[in-house]
Amino acid sequence: MTDQSQPIFEELTKLKSESVYDYFVILFNDSIHEFSYVEDCLMKLCFKTKREAKKIAIEAHSNGKAICFHGSMEECETVADNMTNANLTVSYGV
């Protein structure tokens, strides 16, 4: 192994470990649920504070969508499933 291969391996490992958490859950606006319900779901299912939940709910209402969770693929899949089970419209991905 040459000295030049070590930094490349470390760089690839670093990039791989950083990209594990490059997944997002996106909340979409709907006209069915009240703000308070959406905020409660964001606090309970996305682990947000009241202030963060309110900000995300307002952004989704204003822009049609908002990122509500950031984490690994498995975490995002779980959060998206829980949000869907709460009858909210979400998607997740990179």
pLDDT tens across 7-48, in order?
A: 544 544 455 555 566 899 999 999 999 999 999 999 999 999
pLDDT tens across 57-83, in order?
A: 999 999 999 999 999 999 999 999 999
What SS3 string covers the chain?
Answer: CCCCHHHHHHHHHHHHHHHCCCEEEEEECCCCCCHHHHHHHHHHHCCCCHHHHHHHHHHHHHHCEEEEEEECHHHHHHHHHHHHHCCCCEEEEC
Task: Match 């989704």 to its residue by tokens.
Answer: 60
